[in-house]
Homo-oligomer: A and B are copies of this chain.
Amino acid sequence: MTSLICNLAGVALRNPIIMASGTFGFGREYGELYDLSILGGIASKGLTLHPRSGNTGCRVQETPSGMMNSVGLENPGITSFLENELDHMVASGAVVIANLGGAHLEEYVTGAAQISESCDLRQRQGQKAVDLLELNISCPNVKEGGIQFGVDTEVARQIVREVRQVTRIPLIVKLSPNAQDIVAMAYMCEQEGADAVSLVNTFSAMKIDIAQRRSAFQNTYAGLSGPAIKPIALRMVHQVSQALSIPVIGMGGISSVEDMIEYIMAGAEAVQIGTYNFVNLHAGEELVSGLTAWMEKEKVQSLDEIRGIV
């Protein structure tokens, strides 16, 4: 019997396939297309303490084998998430990951505390709650003039440390590929008590509208994702996996079973699927059944047999 179960900080996932934050909403829309309970997990749209309306102007551009987005963390805010979305996510049957963003340190900490308290309460009432918290440290720090938190290890350390203190929910830190030293960044997360790291978020990138003679995005730069970035993201996941003892969740451009296997062979405990959800609306179900089929064909009974083999 092949088993796809994987384990993240004591949370068992049916399989290592998680839908990436910002590409799956809160699961409602994809839930109309297929049964979400077959998924390993779902990461919510990035949440912030207060509702955000996101960026104005163009929000998406296609690039060679990739896309750039500048959604700007449009989200209903944590309170609304807890009231209107969490029940629905829990009911999906997949492991629920709340993805947390912020524009400054206090926003992260207050947000984490709010999610945490609300989930404690739910649990005392016997309700299922958020299984894992994914801390997105790639947000621009508005107090420091827009520099990304996730670039400098010591700046990021402060967030990880303080968020860790306010929550007992198992903590994943989601790393930015724009980090100056992604291995040092990941190692810092392990030191500060993170239960796992996930990588990569989108690459800072640019597209110029030559007819208009200005950036295609009002924020000048935007985030690159999709198959184009896979070779770089895979290298980062490999480097980080070699350096850490906590689990690593790999992502960036995954569009096939073979791509997932590459990440797992590079050391990933689980993987996330982002942009491919747009290219193939049934990505989740096809990858889950495809992974099972691959394991049977290759006579791999557990992914542990191949994890980190490279």
A20: Cβ under 8 A from any B Cβ: no
Main secondary structure of the interface of A (DSSP, over half): mixed
A65: Cβ under 8 A from any B Cβ: yes
Q: Which residues of B contact A235 (CB under 8 A)?
A: 204-206, 221
Q: Select one of B205, B220, B221, B238 contacting A206, CB under 8 A.
A: B238
Q: Which residues of B contact A226 (CB under 8 A)?
A: 64
A227→B64 contact, CB < 8 A: yes
A290: Cβ under 8 A from any B Cβ: no
A59: Cβ under 8 A from any B Cβ: no
29 CB-based A-B contacts, threshold 8 Å: A63-B230, A64-B226, A64-B227, A65-B65, A65-B66, A65-B227, A65-B228, A66-B231, A68-B231, A180-B180, A204-B235, A205-B232, A206-B234, A206-B266, A207-B231, A207-B262, A208-B234, A208-B265, A208-B310, A210-B262, A210-B265, A213-B306, A213-B309, A213-B310, A214-B310, A215-B310, A224-B232, A228-B228, A228-B229
Tell me, in angstroms, the Cα distance from A172 to B238 when the chains sit together. Answer: 33
A253: Cβ under 8 A from any B Cβ: yes
Supply 18 further A-B pairs (C-beta < 8 A) apart from A66-B228, A180-B180: A64-B65, A65-B228, A66-B231, A203-B232, A204-B232, A205-B234, A206-B238, A206-B266, A207-B231, A207-B262, A208-B261, A208-B262, A208-B310, A213-B306, A213-B310, A214-B310, A215-B310, A221-B235
Tell me, in angstroms, the Cα distance from A66 to B230 when the chains sit together. Answer: 10
Bitwise, A285-309 to B at CB < 8 A (1) or not (0) is: 0000000000000000000001001
B180→A213 contact, CB < 8 A: no
Tell me, in angstroms, the Cα distance from A66 to B180 when the chains sit together. Answer: 24
Q: Which of A219-246 contact B (CB under 8 A)?
A: 220-221, 224, 226-232, 234-235, 238
A181: Cβ under 8 A from any B Cβ: yes
A154: Cβ under 8 A from any B Cβ: no
A35: Cβ under 8 A from any B Cβ: no
Number of chain copies forming the complex: 2
A87: Cβ under 8 A from any B Cβ: no
What count of chain A residues pass the 8 Å CB interface test?
39
Q: Select one of B230, B238, B258 contacting A64, CB under 8 A.
A: B230
A213→B265 contact, CB < 8 A: yes
Tell me, in angstroms, the Cα distance from A181 to B231 when the chains sit together. Answer: 21
Q: Which of A243-282 contact B (CB under 8 A)?
A: 253, 258, 261-262, 265-266
Tell me, in angstroms, the Cα distance from A235 to B148 when the chains sit together. Answer: 15
Q: In chain B, what residue has the closest Cβ to A205?
A: B231
